[in-house]
Amino acid sequence: MHREDMAAPYILREPRPGDFGWIVTRHAELYALEYGWTEPFEGLCAGIVADFANKNDPERERCWIAELNGENAGGVMLVRENDETARIRLLLVDPKGRGLGLGARLVDECVRFARAAGYKKITLWTHSVLTAARRIYEKAGFTLTSSEKRHSWSQDVVAEFWDLDL
């Protein structure tokens, strides 16, 4: 635990049994409710989680679950894109955990771990409508490198690609 965690009302921990299912379920529920994104989005999340759960390399990849008062309140994964680049996947802060700096803390953990693991860059894919996440990435030093209009999950979206040199 880092010193700044002493005042934080949440803890960050490694996943436990059931947490990977929670990541998929909570993404599907929240994104359907907040953005109208439908089943193909849930399938995308399930695939990302399955890949991590089945073949992650603990030396170069990590998942963090944020817990608030004994309940899951957020999470993120950092996965290997290639030998030099890591990718942030599935950053989520549940409504009960919003406003506590939890999203920024999860991204900071990804950056810290990526540096320690020897990556030279972190990349990520998000959408313009995810304004809170975009602010977190920007404050962490990520740069928007490209964007493209798409029709995904029954919605017109603008996909964005962000990078951070370490």
DSSP β-bridge partners for residue 93: 74
Q: What per-residue confidence (pLDDT) applies to 159?
A: 80
What is the residue type of 90?
Answer: L
Residue 32, SS3 per DSSP: helix
Q: What per-residue confidence (pLDDT) applies to 5?
A: 47
Which residues in the chain show pLDDT less than 50? Answer: 1-5
Full DSSP string of 101-121: THHHHHHHHHHHHHHHTT-SE
Q: What per-residue confidence (pLDDT) applies to 163?
A: 97
**Cα–Cα dist 4/105, whole Å:** 10
pLDDT in tens, 49-76: 999 999 999 999 999 999 999 999 999 9
Q: What per-residue confidence (pLDDT) applies to 68?
A: 94
**Cα–Cα dist 55/99, whole Å:** 33
Domains and CATH numbers, the chain: 3-119 (3.40.630.30)
Stated pTM of the model: 0.90
Q: What per-residue confidence (pLDDT) applies to 154?
A: 64
Q: What per-residue confidence (pLDDT) applies to 152?
A: 65
